[in-house]
């Protein structure tokens, strides 16, 4: 195996594959990248067994061959490379010589046969969607994915595609974010997947240009995204995803409208005095005003006020300030609308003005005060 | 004028073994060890023959064939300890208690009870009269000094370090006696030829910080005899743990999960009875062939219910029990224990959470009336045919740990 490439090209390639390399692993070869050098292409692969990314690297092939090299060390070498042209050559079975300007180094790798096989896909269906749209849908929902390993069905993004609508939903059991797009989508019937946010994030960043199309293929076990020479294979997560439609309140009639940024800043200020575990802030919903309060023994207390349009019954609701600020950060526009019912029921938070063809909202469950 | 600060440390001499001797005079002069599999506690007679805590019993019996080995009974030890702690509380309201030791804040009690030495003598006599046990008392101007001087006066002694003499007293002690210097730091300091606590004082604070990080500054102060931790009446335990070895080493998944179910249910029950909640779950295993693993993971929110703790514990067990080897021991520890706070309501399973609460409280009432083992739940049913039960629950192989 022998090839030459440019520092800039290699560093862009590494950006695409490094995110997938697991930080800690019991299988050492997963810390490595596979380099598959053929006469007409150089292919670079990373995998964590659930998500696999393959991409191509520009370069001049001198001799074909394969090897795996430690990803993070390779990245460091490239980061500090003193010259543009980098020359890779396999010296014996597993040691790669890397020459760049005045630097000459030898990096031991692991034989390519230990690297997991790239999934083979029995393609049943394929469709194309604009990268920008997917990126936006992922960005608006993925923050609500659960990190609790004991609830695996909540660890993914639920993605449903129908001929005239498409939605992504994420929830951690305490809040939910849902983005729906209407339009024409090239599918037959209804398609539903539960996908790891890691893979979708990776996919969302493949295209440099929002109008570029992402090619999507599906089989029973994998979703495969390809765009601009890079392919992301994502093992589908096991559900079932909760029946979230049932928890979306239908008759939250008490509407409150407020400046989104003001409330977000107020929430962060008051949260300084909230309990470090529950992050509890109390929202007192009053006529044309929201009063935020927090009070923690040994920490102190704070009160803050934000103007709001509201004319229903006054009430006090406890929320996790981190969750609330997170939601407000993801809502577009100047004004946010709360649709509320009672202090122990889910509240709906949404932008006052939805973008064209979009319907976006978040649900937030309150905190029940300790008795 | 601010009263002089005095802390008294009480250490129960060879606690479990001494309780057994007090209960049964026939073994008073014989070497006695309590434990199962390994020594949990052994008397001074046994220690003179080279036995020590955590030594495997098989080895202990080889060294000392006449050793009396007892299973032990945790509820009895608990009751005896409670008696001694009560005597401590007659001296001062500020008593911090552990399994077999306690710190008593004497500051401000001098006019009521007399000098610290008088208090120490009286406490030792009172414990002897009430329980038949001997305790060692250490007195100093800080917790650390009180405990260290107590250690040097063991067993059945009383030691005091006068104010101002702290640095001189600890200076001559071996470096590993300094709290915070464990095996790892000890080895490192050995390599630097630092053998005594006074030797550590030669290092400037910057050097210690470089060696030990944030801990370096603490050691810098400690080796000079400074320690400023206040004695607190601790009603909230730092951790609640339950662990046991198996009667016979096992690879049977149902038995292992059944035991983990049972131990975690008991740990949660203890936390709930105290009106508290726990956030962090640690699962520990030991393999029959030696070695083991443990994994600590936090729940998204604290709880006093068993289902979320169990889910986490079973998952952790899956993650750490990766060898194809029989297990010798399994255990679970709950930490992050605190008073209940505002509870995050669940979007999907609020009704389930409420139901779990109802079931837990119903079980608590039945168990209060008819004993813990009157109800056996869930996966712990798999233990019914393998283990005996008394009213306190299953009879485990390591009863001194059956808290």
Q: Is A280 on the interface with B (CB under 8 A)?
A: yes
- When scoring B306, B315, B344 by the number of chain A Cβ atoms within 10 A, the one with the most, hence best to mutate, is B344
In whole angstroms, give the CA distance from residue A287 to residue A86: 67
pLDDT for the residue numbered A356: 92
Global model pTM greater than 0.80: no
Name the pLDDT band for B56 (thresholds 50, 70, 90): confident
Residues A283 and A346 in one domain: yes
Window from A315-329, A341-355, B74-88 with minimum mean pLDDT? B74-88
The helix (run of H) or strand (run of E) holding residue B316 is helix B306-320
Average the pLDDT over A228-237 and give the result.
91
Average the pLDDT over B13-38 and give the result.
89
Instruction: Give how far B161 is from chain A: nearest CA, Å.
Output: 35
Chain A residues closer than 8 Å to B341 by CB: 275, 277-278, 280, 370
pLDDT for the residue numbered B276: 85
Indicate the residue of A176, A275, A320 with minimum beta-carbon distance to B347.
Answer: A176
- B158-160 and B135-140: which strand pairing? parallel
pLDDT for the residue numbered B1: 60
Sheet holding B7-12, edge to edge: B95-97, B101-105, B7-12, B135-140, B158-160
Chain A residues closer than 8 Å to B301 by CB: 277-278
Q: Is the pLDDT of residue A33 over 90?
A: yes
The helix (run of H) or strand (run of E) holding residue A293 is strand A289-296
pLDDT for the residue numbered B229: 65
What are the DSSP calls for B77-101, one per residue? Answer: HHHHHHHHHHHHHTT-S-EEE-SSE
Give domain status of residue A121, yes or no.
Answer: no
Window from A145-159, A204-218, B16-30, B195-209 with minimum mean pLDDT? A204-218
pLDDT for the residue numbered B3: 76
Structure tokens at B98: 């552990």
Q: Is the pLDDT of residue B209 over 80?
A: yes
The helix (run of H) or strand (run of E) holding residue B48 is helix B44-48
* Mean pLDDT, rounded, of chain B: 86
Chain B residues closer than 8 Å to A149 by CB: 297, 315
> Shortest CA distance to B248 belongs to which of B401, B394, B397, B381?
B397
Q: Is B341 on the interface with A (CB under 8 A)?
A: yes
Peptide bond before residue B155 is cis, with ω within 30 degrees of 0: yes
What are the DSSP calls for A216-257, one per residue? Answer: EEE-SSEEEEEETTEEEEEEPPP-PPP-GGGGS-S---EEEE
DSSP state at residue A246 = G
The residue behind tokens 């004082």 is: B201
In whole angstroms, give the CA distance from residue B19 to residue B75: 12
Is the CB of residue A195 less than 8 Å from the CB of residue A50?
A: no
Chain B residues closer than 8 Å to A321 by CB: none
Name the pLDDT band for B233 (thresholds 50, 70, 90): low
In whole angstroms, give the CA distance from residue B136 to residue B143: 15
pLDDT, greater one: B288 or B313: B313
The dihedral region occupied by A221, where left means phi > 0, alpha psi between -120 and 50, and beta the remainder, is alpha
pLDDT for the residue numbered A317: 94
pLDDT for the residue numbered B231: 60
Q: Is the pLDDT of residue A169 over 80?
A: yes
Bridge partner list, A27: none
Is the CB of residue B175 less than 8 Å from the CB of residue B198?
A: no
Instruction: Give how far A176 is from chain B: nearest CA, Å.
Output: 9
Determine, for residues A370 and B348 on separate chains, whether the beta-carbon distance falls below 8 Å: no
Among all residues of chain A, which has the CA nearest to that of B299?
Answer: A148
Average the pLDDT over B226-254 and give the result.
79
Among all residues of chain A, which has the CA nearest to that of B344?
Answer: A367
Q: Is B180 on the interface with A (CB under 8 A)?
A: no
Q: Is the pLDDT of residue A188 over 90?
A: no
> Shortest CA distance to A64 belongs to which of A42, A87, A93?
A42
- pLDDT tens track for A306-340: 999 999 999 999 999 999 999 999 999 999 999 99
Q: Is B315 on the interface with A (CB under 8 A)?
A: yes
Is the CB of residue A118 less than 8 Å from the CB of residue A17?
A: no
| CATH code assigned at A275 | 3.10.150.10
Domain end (from A245, A266, A301): A245
Residues A239 and A253 in one domain: no
Residues A273 and A176 in one domain: no
**CB contact residues (below 8 A), chain A span 221-250, against chain B:** 242, 244, 247
Give domain status of residue A270, yes or no.
Answer: yes
**CB contact residues (below 8 A), chain B span 255-284, against chain A:** 279
Q: Is B1 on the interface with A (CB under 8 A)?
A: no
Q: Is the pLDDT of residue A346 over 60?
A: yes
CA Rg value for chain A: 25
Query: How many beta-carbon contacts under 8 Å exist across A and B?
Result: 67
pLDDT for the residue numbered B402: 42
Among all residues of chain A, which has the CA nearest to that of B279?
Answer: A277
Chain B residues closer than 8 Å to A173 by CB: 300, 346-349
HSE of B333, CA atoms in CB hemisphere, 13 A: 13
Structure tokens at B277: 């909640």
**Complex ipTM over 0.95:** no
- pLDDT tens track for B125-161: 999 999 999 999 999 988 889 999 999 888 899 999 9
Residues A88 and A178 in one domain: no
Structure tokens at A6: 């440019």
**CB contact residues (below 8 A), chain A span 137-196, against chain B:** 146, 148-150, 171-176
Window from A71-80, B119-128, B183-192, B262-271 with minimum mean pLDDT? B183-192
Residues of B catalogued as catalytic = 101
Q: Which domains does chain B have, with CATH numbers?
A: 1-163 (3.30.70.270), 166-222 (1.10.150.20), 240-394 (3.30.1490.100)
Is the CB of residue A164 less than 8 Å from the CB of residue B336?
A: no
Indicate the residue of B315, B341, B346 with minimum beta-carbon distance to A150.
Answer: B315
Give domain status of residue A370, yes or no.
Answer: no
Q: Is B346 on the interface with A (CB under 8 A)?
A: yes
Determine, for residues B341 and A172 on separate chains, whether the beta-carbon distance falls below 8 Å: no
Residues A346 and A261 in one domain: yes
Q: Is B347 on the interface with A (CB under 8 A)?
A: yes
Residues A138 and A106 in one domain: no
Chain B residues closer than 8 Å to A174 by CB: 300, 344-347
Q: How many CB atoms lie within 10 A of CB B108?
A: 14
Average the pLDDT over B387-397 and give the result.
75
Residues A204 and A154 in one domain: yes
For residue B248, what are the CA distances in angstroms to B251, B252, B314? 10, 11, 21
Q: Is the pLDDT of residue A284 over 90?
A: yes
Instruction: Give how far B202 is from chain A: nearest CA, Å.
Output: 38
Give domain status of residue A102, yes or no.
Answer: yes
Among all residues of chain A, which has the CA nearest to that of B318?
Answer: A150
Give domain status of residue A310, yes or no.
Answer: yes
> Where do the H-state alpha helices sit in B166-286?
166-171, 183-191, 197-200, 205-212, 214-222, 253-273
Name the pLDDT band for A267 (thresholds 50, 70, 90): very high
Sheet holding B239-250, edge to edge: B239-250, B327-335, B278-287, B292-303
Q: Is B179 on the interface with A (CB under 8 A)?
A: no
Chain A residues closer than 8 Å to B342 by CB: 275, 278, 280, 318, 367-370
Name the pLDDT band for A352 (thresholds 50, 70, 90): very high
Q: Is B351 on the interface with A (CB under 8 A)?
A: no
Domain end (from A230, A245, A260): A245
Determine, for residues A174 and B344 on separate chains, whether the beta-carbon distance falls below 8 Å: yes
- B68-70 and B32-36: which strand pairing? parallel
pLDDT, greater one: A298 or B125: B125
Q: Is A346 on the interface with B (CB under 8 A)?
A: yes
pLDDT, greater one: B331 or B56: B331
Residues A337 and A314 in one domain: yes
Domain span at A184: 127-245
Name the pLDDT band for A88 (thresholds 50, 70, 90): very high
Q: What percentage of chain A carries pLDDT values higher than 90?
A: 75
**CB contact residues (below 8 A), chain A span 10-29, against chain B:** none
Residues A89 and A154 in one domain: no
> Where do the H-state alpha helices sit in A187-346?
197-204, 260-271, 321-330
pLDDT for the residue numbered A71: 96
Name the pLDDT band for A77 (thresholds 50, 70, 90): very high
Three-class SS string for A146-205? CCCCCCHHHCCEEEEECCCEEEEEEECCCEEEEEEEECCCCCCCCEEEEECHHHHHHHHC
In whole angstroms, give the CA distance from residue A10 to residue A57: 7
Domain end (from A245, A273, A292): A245
Average the pLDDT over A194-212 and give the result.
83
Average the pLDDT over A178-204 and give the result.
90
What's the first-to-final CA gap in chain B, in angstroms?
45
Window from A337-346, B14-23, B231-240, B291-300 with minimum mean pLDDT? B231-240
Is the CB of residue A276 less than 8 Å from the CB of residue A294?
A: no
pLDDT for the residue numbered B401: 45
Instruction: Give how far B315 is from chain A: nearest CA, Å.
Output: 7
The residue behind tokens 């520990």 is: B284
Residues A80 and A163 in one domain: no
pLDDT for the residue numbered B235: 64
HSE of B70, CA atoms in CB hemisphere, 13 A: 22
Largest CA distance in chain B: 67
pLDDT for the residue numbered B87: 93
Three-class SS string for B119-143? HHHHHHHHHHHHHCCCEEEEEECCH
Give domain status of residue A120, yes or no.
Answer: no
pLDDT for the residue numbered B279: 94
Phi, then psi, of B43 in degrees rounded to 5: -80, 170
Determine, for residues B315 and A174 on separate chains, whether the beta-carbon distance falls below 8 Å: no
Structure tokens at A294: 């927090």
In whole angstroms, give the CA distance from residue A145 to residue A200: 12
* Mean pLDDT, rounded, of chain A: 92
- When scoring A26, A147, A150 by the number of chain B Cβ atoms within 10 A, the one with the most, hence best to mutate, is A150
Is the CB of residue A281 less than 8 Å from the CB of residue A294?
A: yes
Sequence length of chain B is 403
In whole angstroms, give the CA distance from residue B87 to residue B352: 46
SS3 A5: strand
Q: Count up the domains in chain A and report the number.
A: 3
Determine, for residues A370 and B315 on separate chains, whether the beta-carbon distance falls below 8 Å: no
CA Rg value for chain B: 23
pLDDT for the residue numbered A27: 86
Q: Is B342 on the interface with A (CB under 8 A)?
A: yes
Average the pLDDT over B93-114 and give the result.
86
Indicate the residue of B297, B312, B346 with minimum beta-carbon distance to A173.
Answer: B346
Bridge partner list, A307: A289
In whole angstroms, give the CA distance from residue A307 to residue A360: 24
Largest CA distance in chain A: 78
Average the pLDDT over B343-354 and give the result.
81
Give domain status of residue A122, yes or no.
Answer: no
Average the pLDDT over A121-150 and give the result.
89
> Shortest CA distance to B275 belongs to which of B213, B341, B320, B224?
B341
Determine, for residues B341 and A344 on separate chains, whether the beta-carbon distance falls below 8 Å: no
Residues A207 and A266 in one domain: no
In whole angstroms, give the CA distance from residue A127 to residue B331: 51
Residue A28 burial (10 A CB sphere; 0-12, 13-18, 19+)? exposed
Give domain status of residue A195, yes or no.
Answer: yes
In whole angstroms, give the CA distance from residue B384 to residue B348: 34
Name the pLDDT band for B393 (thresholds 50, 70, 90): confident
In whole angstroms, give the CA distance from residue B196 to residue B371: 52
In whole angstroms, give the CA distance from residue B217 to residue B204: 10
Q: Is A320 on the interface with B (CB under 8 A)?
A: yes
């Amino acid at each position: 195996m022998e090839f030459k490439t440019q520092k800039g090209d290699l560093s862009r390639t590494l950006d695409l594959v490094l995110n997938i390399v697991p930080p800690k692993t019991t299988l050492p070869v997963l810390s490595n990248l596979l380099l598959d050098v053929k006469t007409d292409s150089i292919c670079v692969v990373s995998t964590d067994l659930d998500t696999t990314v393959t991409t191509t690297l520009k370069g001049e092939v001198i001799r074909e061959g394969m090897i795996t090299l430690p990803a993070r060390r390779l990245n460091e070498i490239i980061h500090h490379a003193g010259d543009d042209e980098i020359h890779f050559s396999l010296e014996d079975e597993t040691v790669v010589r890397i020459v760049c300007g005045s630097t000459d180094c030898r990096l031991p790798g692991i034989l390519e046969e230990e690297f997991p096989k790239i999934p083979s896909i029995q393609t049943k269906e394929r469709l194309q969607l604009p990268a920008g749209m997917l990126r936006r849908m992922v960005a608006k929902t993925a923050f609500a994915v659960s990190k609790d390993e004991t609830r695996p069905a909540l660890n993914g993004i639920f993605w449903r595609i129908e001929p005239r609508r498409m939605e992504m939903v994420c929830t951690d059991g305490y809040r939910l974010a849902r983005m729906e797009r209407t339009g024409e989508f090239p599918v037959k019937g209804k398609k539903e997947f539960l996908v790891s946010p890691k893979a979708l994030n990776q996919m969302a960043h493949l295209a440099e240009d929002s109008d570029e199309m992402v090619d999507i293929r599906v089989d029973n076990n994998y979703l495969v995204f390809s765009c601009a020479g890079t392919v992301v294979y994502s093992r589908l997560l096991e559900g079932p995803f909760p029946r979230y439609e049932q928890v979306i309140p239908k008759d939250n009639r008490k509407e409150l409208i407020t400046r989104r940024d003001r409330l977000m800043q107020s929430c962060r200020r008051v949260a300084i005095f909230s309990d470090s575990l529950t992050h509890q802030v109390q929202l007192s919903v009053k006529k044309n005003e929201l009063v935020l309060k927090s009070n923690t023994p040994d920490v102190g207390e704070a009160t803050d006020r934000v103007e709001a349009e509201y004319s229903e019954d006054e009430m006090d609701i406890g929320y996790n300030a981190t969750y609330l600020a997170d939601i407000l950060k993801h809502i577009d526009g100047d004004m946010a609308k709360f649709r509320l019912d009672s202090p122990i029921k889910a509240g709906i938070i949404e932008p006052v003005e939805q973008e064209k063809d979009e319907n976006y909202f978040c649900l937030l469950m309150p905190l029940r005060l300790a008795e | 004028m601010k009263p002089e600060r005095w802390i008294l440390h009480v250490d129960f001499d060879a606690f479990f073994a001494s309780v057994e001797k007090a209960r049964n005079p026939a073994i008073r002069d014989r070497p006695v060890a309590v434990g199962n599999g390994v020594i949990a506690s052994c008397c001074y007679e046994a220690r003179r023959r080279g036995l020590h805590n955590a030594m495997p019993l098989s080895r202990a019996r080889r060294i000392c064939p006449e050793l009396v080995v007892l299973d032990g009974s945790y509820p009895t030890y608990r009751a005896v300890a409670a008696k001694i702690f009560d005597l401590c509380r007659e001296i001062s309201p500020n008593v911090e208690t552990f399994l077999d030791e306690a710190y008593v804040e004497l500051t401000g009690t001098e006019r009521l009870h007399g000098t610290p030495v008088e208090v120490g003598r009286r406490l030792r006599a009172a414990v002897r009269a009430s329980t038949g046990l001997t305790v060692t008392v250490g007195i100093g101007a800080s917790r650390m000094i009180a405990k260290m001087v107590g250690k040097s006066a063991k067993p059945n002694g009383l030691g005091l370090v006068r104010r101002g003499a702290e640095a001189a007293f600890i200076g001559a002690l071996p470096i590993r006696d300094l709290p915070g210097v464990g095996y790892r730091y000890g080895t490192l300091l050995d390599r630097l030829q630092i053998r005594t606590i006074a030797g550590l004082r030669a290092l400037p604070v910057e050097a210690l910080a470089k060696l030990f990080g944030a801990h370096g500054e603490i050691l810098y102060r400690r080796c000079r005899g400074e320690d400023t931790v206040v004695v607190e009446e601790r009603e909230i335990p730092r951790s609640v743990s339950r662990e046991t070895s198996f009667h016979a080493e096992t690879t049977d998944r149902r038995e292992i999960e059944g035991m983990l179910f049972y131990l975690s249910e008991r740990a949660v029950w203890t936390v709930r009875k105290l009106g508290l909640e726990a956030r962090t779950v640690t699962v520990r295993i030991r393999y029959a062939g030696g070695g083991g693993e443990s994994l600590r993971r936090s729940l998204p929110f604290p709880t006093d219910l068993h289902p979320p703790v169990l889910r986490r514990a079973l998952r952790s067990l899956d993650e750490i029990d990766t060898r194809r080897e029989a297990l010798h021991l399994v255990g679970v520890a709950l930490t992050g224990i605190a008073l209940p706070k505002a509870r995050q309501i669940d979007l999907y399973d609020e009704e389930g959470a409420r139901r779990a609460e109802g079931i837990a409280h119903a079980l608590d009432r039945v168990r209060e009336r008819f004993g813990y083992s009157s109800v056996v739940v869930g996966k712990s049913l798999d233990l019914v045919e393998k283990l005996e039960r008394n009213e306190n629950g299953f009879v485990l192989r390591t009863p001194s740990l059956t808290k």
